[in-house]
């Protein structure tokens, strides 16, 4: 459709005939994501009534949400390989214009600043100390204890901007930097807490990024699990997948919107989570 045709179509949203406006909405939805910029321009420039402006906003959100679902489906079907891309897709739910290239550039800068103080011949514990120094002292990342359940803690761009996050968002940023430095650092899905593990050959220890990169051992996990009165499970000690990480990010996001009573967003996030539980195509 041309821009003039889109203008004419959008103008019919204000039609008194409800059947006409329903047909117009259906046609707009069928146009898909390519119509979003035109809708945004119309919303900004045209003198529509508040009801029509709200309808345009809803249509824009619907179309953007469909794009998010498509991206998430493609990421999942592609093997869930790139964790940063997965985190970006989740963030586009709230920030549809977010640039993946900008986020990648931010991480390249983090990598460079860490690389300057990093030596590959260091003992693994010393490598973690060096990374901790850059991550917490130089880059100023820290725990968001004041707004622990905020939805922003699950949005990679918000955490990068504020330098505050929850356990899993901080662990993701830390892990991506570590892996960029060729460190064998991976996520670990503990109950009520997300941590990292350094695992290579016979060396394995754990890192609590939410507690300033505190290093701890398997026996500490044993004690933690015992305190929770849970039965020990090997998944509490071993690396988890990128898919597991994104599922947990979405669970946190669902909880955040539940706490604010936003049932529409809860439903939309749950629909995103269902994609990650679909059987893979053969």
Tell me what pLDDT residue 118 has.
87
* Residue 2, SS3 per DSSP: coil
pLDDT of residue 56: 79
Q: Widest CA span of the chain, in angstroms?
A: 74
Query: 3-state DSSP call for residue 196?
Result: strand
Q: Count other C-beta atoms under 10 Å from residue 137's C-beta.
A: 10
Cα dist from 173 to 87, 103, 136, 169, 244, whole Å: 10, 11, 12, 6, 16
pLDDT at 43: 66
Residue 79 has which token pair? Answer: 């093997």
- Looking up tokens 């947990």 gives 248
Please report the pLDDT score of residue 1 as a whole number: 62
Give the pLDDT of residue 19: 72
Handedness of CA 187, 98, 155, 256 (dihedral sign): negative
pTM over 0.85: yes
**E-strand spans in 64-209?**
142-143, 164-165, 185-190, 193-200, 203-208
Q: What is the pLDDT of residue 7?
A: 67
The pair of three-digit structure tokens given for residue 16, joined into one six-digit string: 């008194």
Q: Is 188 exposed, middle or buried (0-12, 13-18, 19+ CB in 10 A)?
A: buried
C-alpha 187/C-alpha 243 separation (Å) is 11
CA-CA-CA-CA dihedral for 149, 154, 155, 161, to nearest 10:
60
- pLDDT per residue, tens digit, the chain (282 aa), is 666 666 666 666 665 666 766 777 777 777 777 777 777 776 666 566 677 777 878 888 888 999 999 999 999 999 999 999 999 999 999 999 999 999 999 999 999 999 998 888 889 999 999 999 999 999 999 999 888 889 999 999 999 999 999 999 999 999 999 999 999 999 999 999 999 999 999 999 999 999 999 999 999 999 999 999 999 899 999 999 999 999 999 999 999 999 999 999 999 999 999 999 876 555
* pLDDT value of residue 12: 63
Measured distance CA(8)–CA(167) in Å, rounded: 49
């Amino acid at each position: 459709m041309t821009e003039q045709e889109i203008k004419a179509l959008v103008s019919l949203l204000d039609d008194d005939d409800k059947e006409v406006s329903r047909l117009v909405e259906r046609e707009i939805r069928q146009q898909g994501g390519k119509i979003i910029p035109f809708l945004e321009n119309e919303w900004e420039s045209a003198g529509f009534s508040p009801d029509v402006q709200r309808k345009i906003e809803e249509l824009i959100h619907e179309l953007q949400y469909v794009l998010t679902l498509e991206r998430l489906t493609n990421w999942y079907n592609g093997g869930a390989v790139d964790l940063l891309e997965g985190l970006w897709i989740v963030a586009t739910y709230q920030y549809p214009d977010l640039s993946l290239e900008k986020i990648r550039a931010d991480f390249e800068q983090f990598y460079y600043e860490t690389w300057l103080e990093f030596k590959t011949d260091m003992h693994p514990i010393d490598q973690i100390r060096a990374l901790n120094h850059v991550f917490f002292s130089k880059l100023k990342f820290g725990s968001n204890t004041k707004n622990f359940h905020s939805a922003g803690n699950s949005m990679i761009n918000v955490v990068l901007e504020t330098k505050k996050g929850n356990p899993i968002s901080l662990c993701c940023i830390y892990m991506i930097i570590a892996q960029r430095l060729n460190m064998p650092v991976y996520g670990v899905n503990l109950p009520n807490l997300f941590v990292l593990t350094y695992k290579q050959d016979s060396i394995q220890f754990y890192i609590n990024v939410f507690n300033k990169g505190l290093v701890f051992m398997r026996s500490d996990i044993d004690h933690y699990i015992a305190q929770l009165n849970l039965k020990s499970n090997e998944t509490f000690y071993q690396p988890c997948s990128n898919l597991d990480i994104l599922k947990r990010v979405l669970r946190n996001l669902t909880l955040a919107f539940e706490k604010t009573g936003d049932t529409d967003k809860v439903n939309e996030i749950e629909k995103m989570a269902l994609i990650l539980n679909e059987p893979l195509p053969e």
